[in-house]
Amino acid sequence: MTTLSLTRTEADILHAAAAAEGRLHFAPAIKPASRKRLLGRFLRDALITSSDAPDGQHRLTPAGYHAIGLTPPPVFGAASRSNKKALVLTLLARDEGATLAELIGATGWLPHTTRAALSRIRSGGQPLAKATRPDAMTAYRILPASPPPAARVRPRRKAETPARAAIAVMGAELPAGGPMQATA
């Protein structure tokens, strides 16, 4: 693996991007021509991704992290989705719930993805409440599960046998053992 020599400005820009979750930002004082030259160098050396992303942001690649002596963050894939779902459920289960901004910050999802996750939770049978906090922020919270309604217990009807029917007509009580009980 070859090491790249970076100027102080280049290293500072890459360090700032690493601190901003990999998003590349340029100071307003950098001239447009210098910005274009830096972007060209970073792209040529594969230190950043192109801005084809929906947000138009250039991001650091693992090579970009290594160029400044940092370990790249883990790549989130299918295994982390379940961890994020567990994180969202944990945040929503708190007494104060979670705002959309808190959920976005915790998961790194876009707002529409976060709202879709809330819809999936709601359609999955979890009761989800939406309320305004004292700081005027809207928070979502999973309501505690209510106990299922008590089953209505009906008394069992005794089987109607011809002997029971005949005795019932006469108004007599049937012995506990039934009509065919021998007496000594």
Residue 181 contacts residue 175 (beta carbons within 8 Å): yes
Q: Are residues 61 and 84 in the same domain?
A: no
Q: Rounded to a whole number, what is the distance in angstroms from the first to the last CA of the chain? A: 105
**Does the pLDDT of residue 182 top 60, yes or no?**
no
Query: Residue 147 domain-assigned?
Result: no
| Residues spanned by the domain of 60 | 8-67
Q: What is the pLDDT of residue 176?
A: 56
**Does the pLDDT of residue 167 top 70, yes or no?**
no
Range with lowest mean pLDDT among 28-37, 74-83, 119-128: 74-83
> Which of the four pLDDT bands, split at 50, 70 and 90, describes residue 162?
low
Q: Are residues 87 and 118 in the same domain?
A: yes
Residue 41 contacts residue 25 (beta carbons within 8 Å): no
**Does the pLDDT of residue 142 top 60, yes or no?**
yes
> Which of the four pLDDT bands, split at 50, 70 and 90, describes residue 118?
very high
Query: Residue 47 domain-assigned?
Result: yes
Q: What is the pLDDT of residue 152?
A: 73
Query: Residue with structure tokens 């309604």?
Result: 149
Strand order in the sheet with 98-99: 98-99, 138-142, 128-132
Query: Residue 3 domain-assigned?
Result: no
Q: Which of 114 and 21 is assigned the larger pLDDT? A: 114
pLDDT tens digits, one per residue of 12-61: 999 998 888 888 888 888 899 999 999 888 888 888 887 665 566 888 88
**Does the pLDDT of residue 8 top 70, yes or no?**
yes
**Does the pLDDT of residue 86 top 90, yes or no?**
no
Q: Are residues 16 and 55 in the same domain?
A: yes
Q: What is the pLDDT of residue 65?
A: 86
Q: Which of 117 and 177 is assigned the larger pLDDT? A: 117
Q: Are residues 48 and 83 in the same domain?
A: no
Record the tokens describing residue 88, joined without a space: 């969202």
- Final residue of a structural domain among 67, 87, 112: 67
Q: What is the pLDDT of residue 109?
A: 84
- The amino acid at residue 39 is L
3-state secondary structure of 50: coil
pLDDT tens digits, one per residue of 125-136: 888 999 998 888
Query: Residue 41 domain-assigned?
Result: yes
Q: Are residues 63 and 84 in the same domain?
A: no
**Does the pLDDT of residue 140 top 90, yes or no?**
yes
- CA separation for the pair 184, 161 (Å, rounded): 25
